[in-house]
Amino acid sequence: MPKSKRLMELMMMVNRKRRFKVQELADEFGVSTRTILRDLQELSELGVPLYSEVGPHGGYQVVRERVLPPIAFTEGEAAAMFFAVHALRHYSSLPFDAESASALSKFYLHMPGDVRDRIDGMKERVDFITPARRSDALFLAALLDAAVKQKVLAVLYESKEEGTTSRRIQPVFLYAHNGFWYCTAYCFLRQGYRLFRCDRIRDAADDPTEPLKLSNIRLSRHEAESPVDAVRLRAELTRIGTQRCEAELWLSPMLHEREDGTGVIDTDVNRGDIPFYTDFFISLGDEVKLIEPAELKESIRRRLIGLLKKYQG
């Protein structure tokens, strides 16, 4: 096997194994241990972060922030990858902010000049606009880490209805929509799933509470929703109302569209979310007809009466 090919395969193997012994690699590639040691030295000089451990159970390990092997891209693939990362720049907060900026810089600087020129031209012709938001979501990385590792966090959460409250939550997943980051999490205070706006989380730290087994839940708020204090929500939507609801990521799983373009919402929701649904259905105006629950209808009436008084005279 040519040395260049062996080094490439060796790089992929050590990244995959993370922990290995020289003799294992020598047997795998059919070369001497001395040759493998020289190859590992070359990989280390190329930036693969290796360190050795002595003793009967020693060997080599790759540190956590390992370097991935080179990947060949076509010009079209390179442009697609660039703009996929470039589009994130409109978000004031990212769970991997510094890493995305570093990756984009490396990716761009190592492209041939003609490919960079092509991308520079495309930057003036295509963009992925996201509304600019003034509030930073400072704990995105902690929320994502907790969702992946299934950990419980103690957070301070600020809401319009309750002010700042202490919560113990177990994040399930995060998503970005309309310039904001949202986290679906199990709330131990409410004993059910809740949707948290990440920029309203003022503090977050690991909590010793035993986490729930939520690994089977996937990226769909509808799948995770299991209201503890449930009320039935039914509403008829015009075609325009249906289109507006389709644009809401959290609502689209609850929406059933008819062949004529109109739609219906028929699902169970948390009673504690009625203030949120009050604002949302008011924003739809004549494009929605709410059928139930009665307490949501009453909440909407009270809100509209308050608005009318505000603008009388």
Q: What is the pLDDT of residue 291?
A: 95
Span 4-34, pLDDT tens digits:
778 778 877 777 776 778 888 888 888 888 8
pLDDT of residue 119: 83
C-alpha torsion angle, residues 131, 133, 139, 145 (rounded to 10): 0
Q: Comparing C-alpha atoms, which of 174, 181, 159, 276 is closest to residue 220?
A: 174
pLDDT at 302: 93
Of residues 55 and 89, the one with the higher pLDDT is 89
Stretch 239-250: mean pLDDT? 83
pLDDT of residue 71: 65
Query: What is the C-alpha separation between 83 and 35, in angstroms, rounded?
Result: 41
Give one DSSP letter per residue of 147-214, joined into a string.
HHHT--EEEEEEETTTEEEEEEEEEEEEEEETTEEEEEEEETTTTEEEEEEGGGEEEEEE--SPPP--
Instruction: Decide if 169 contacts 196 (C-beta within 8 A).
Output: yes
Minimum mean pLDDT among 91-95, 252-256, 275-279: which range? Answer: 91-95
Residue 65 carries which side chain, given as an amino acid letter?
A: E
Position 293 confidence tier, pLDDT thresholds 50, 70, 90: very high
Q: In the structure, how many helices (H) and strands (E) does the chain have? A: 11, 12
Indicate yes or no: pTM above 0.85.
no
Q: Long-range CB contacts (< 8 A, 24+ apart) of 286-292? A: 286/238, 287/237, 287/238, 287/240, 287/241, 287/244, 288/235, 288/236, 288/237, 288/238, 288/241, 289/235, 289/236, 289/237, 290/234, 290/235, 291/234, 291/235, 291/236, 292/232, 292/233, 292/234
In order of 1, 76, 237, 290, 303, the CA distances from 255 in angstroms are: 58, 37, 9, 14, 25
